[in-house]
Chain A
Amino acid sequence: MNAAEGNQDANSIEGAMVAFIQKIGAENPEKIFHTRIERALSRESCSELVVLGEEVFLSKSSSEELEKKIELQKVVYCGVKRGTIKDGIFIPGPNFLNDIVPFLDELNYVIVNERAEWLFLCGRDVFKEGIVRKSLSRGNALVLNERMECLGYGKIETNGSQVIKNIFDLGDFLRRERKRK
C-alpha cells in the first residue's frame, strides 16, 4: 500500500504540503515539514504516505503480512488523515494543521475571541472586532482560539473590515454529515 496506488506520487504530494506551509507564511517550510513528519513518525509510528482517491493519509508501514491477507483495494481510510489533494493543491485537515501550530512564531495567524470562534466554526469570515492578537503578512493564516487550539485557516484579506476569508474550519465535520443526509 503506497502513494503510487493513488493518482499522485509521494514527492508531488509532499511538495504540495510544503507549498501550503509556505503560503501560511513560513520562510523555511521544508524545515517545518520535516520536523512535523518526524514528530508524527515517533508519535504514532505512521510514516507511509497513502493516497486514496483525493484523500491523503499517513499510515503505519503496512505489514506485508496484512496486505496478503486482506483485500486492500477496498481500503477507504488508514492511519492519520492529513487532508485532501485536488488539482495538485493540498488542502490540510485538522490533524495536519495541529502539527504546524507549534511553529506559530514563523507563521501567519490570528487569535480570535469566543464569539468570533463560534462564527468562524459556522463557516463565517474573521472580522477585526473578533481578533485578540495577530501576526500577518501575506497569503493564508491559521485561525486559533484563545486556548491556542486551531480552528481552521483562511486567506488574508487586505481591503475592508474582513481580515480572514474562511477557507477551512472544523465545522466542516458537521457540514459533511448534513450534506450526506
Chain B
Amino acid sequence: MHREFFLKRYKEIGGNIRNVQPRDSIRVNTSKISIEALAERLSRKGVLFEKIQFCPNGLYYKSKFSLGSTPEYLMGYYYLQEAASMLPVLALSPSEKDLVLDMCAAPGSKTTQLSEAMGNRGEIIAVEKNPGRCESLKNNLERMGCANVTVLNDDVLNINSDEIFDKILLDAPCSGNYAMDRDWFEKRNLPGIERNAVRQKKLIEKAYSLLKKGGMLVYSTCSLEPEENEESVMFALSLGLKLEDSGIKAVEPAVSGFDGKKFDRTMLLARRLWPHKTGTSGFFIAKLRKKQ
C-alpha cells in the first residue's frame, strides 16, 4: 500500500521511477594524496575508476574487494562517499577564512569534505547529538587528518549564540530514499515524513538564528519527499532567507508545485537528484542566503 502511495506521488513530480543501485564511489583526500597517485596505487590492485563529472575529487569505482579496509583507506587517503552526497559541500563552497557550522555532522563525510575544501584552515564547528555516531565522526576526522574541526556532542538546538557563522551546512535527518534501502517502501509512511518535516523546520529556524546576516546556508536531505525538501525551503524563505544558484549543473531543478500548492518561483534554483535519472542516491540541495 505504501509503495503505491509513493509511486503515485513520484510519478506526479519526477516521472516513472525504477530500481537503481547507486554506483560505489570514493572522495579522494587531496590534502594527503593526489587523485592520480591514489588511482594508480589502487588500479595496480585491480580497482577500476571513472571520474565523477560533477565532483572534482570524486571517483566511481569497481572492485572485487572492499575498499573499506585497504591500507590506503586506513591512511585517510579517501572516504567512501556516495556521489550525490558530495554536492552540498560544493554548493556551500567554504573558504579558509570562514567560521562554518555543520549542524548534523556524523559520521562526517561532509565534515571531512568541508575541512579539505578549506585547506584545513578556518574553523568548523561540527555538532552531533548521538554519542555513538559522534565516535564515528571523531574516528573519521582523525583518519582523514582534519585539523580545523571542533566537535560538540550535543543537540544543535541547544546552542545559543548570536549570528556568528559565515556558512552553515544543514544536512538534515530525513526519511532517506528507496535507492539506499531495499525495504524503504515497507518502512515509510506519510505521518513519519511529516514528523521529519517538523524536525527539519526547527533545525532551519536554529540555522537562521546562528547565521550571520549575508551568510549562507546549504540545506540538504537524501529524501525525495516534497514535505522534507521544497516545503522546508518555503519555510526558510518565510524566515528571510533567499534562494541562490547552487552552481550544480546537469541536475534537475526542484519541483515547482505539489499537491495543489505552488512553490516560490525561485524554487527552481534548488536541485533534486532522482535515482532513476542520475544513477545516484536520491538527494535534494538548496543554497540559501540570509538577507543583510
Contact = CB atoms under 8 A, between A and B. Distances in A.
B154 interface: yes
A137 interface: no
Nearest to B164: A69
B142 A94 contact: yes
Contacts of A85: none
Interface in A104-143: 117-118, 121
Contact of A69 (B69, B120, B162): B162
Contacts of B134: 76
B161 A77 contact: no
A126 to B, nearest CB: 15
A77 B150 contact: yes
Instruction: Determine the main DSSP class of A at the interface with B.
Output: mixed
A174 B142 contact: no
B168 interface: no
Given A81-B141, A95-B145, A176-B135, A74 B74 contact: no
A60 B118 CA distance: 15
Given A78-B151, A80-B147, A95-B142, A121 B71 contact: yes
Given A118-B71, A174-B74, A60 B123 contact: yes
Given A76-B152, A170-B75, A180-B132, A69 B161 contact: yes
Contacts of B125: 70
Contacts of A163: none
Contacts of B150: 59, 62, 75, 77-79
Contacts of B157: none
B136 interface: yes
Interface residues of A, number: 35
A74 B154 contact: yes
B143 A173 contact: yes
B95 interface: no
A70 B74 CA distance: 32
B165 to A, nearest CB: 10
Interface in A48-85: 59-60, 62, 66, 69-71, 74-81
Interface centre among B74, B99, B143 (most CB of A within 10 A): B74
Nearest to A150: B75
Given A69-B161, A77-B138, A79-B147, A173 B74 contact: yes
A62 B159 CA distance: 18
Interface centre among A44, A70, A71 (most CB of B within 10 A): A70
Contacts of A44: 120-121, 147-148
Interface in B95-111: 99
A38 interface: no
A171 interface: yes
22 contacts: A44-B121, A44-B147, A46-B147, A60-B148, A66-B99, A66-B164, A70-B152, A70-B159, A70-B161, A71-B158, A74-B152, A75-B151, A76-B138, A76-B152, A77-B138, A77-B149, A79-B147, A118-B71, A173-B74, A173-B139, A173-B142, A173-B143
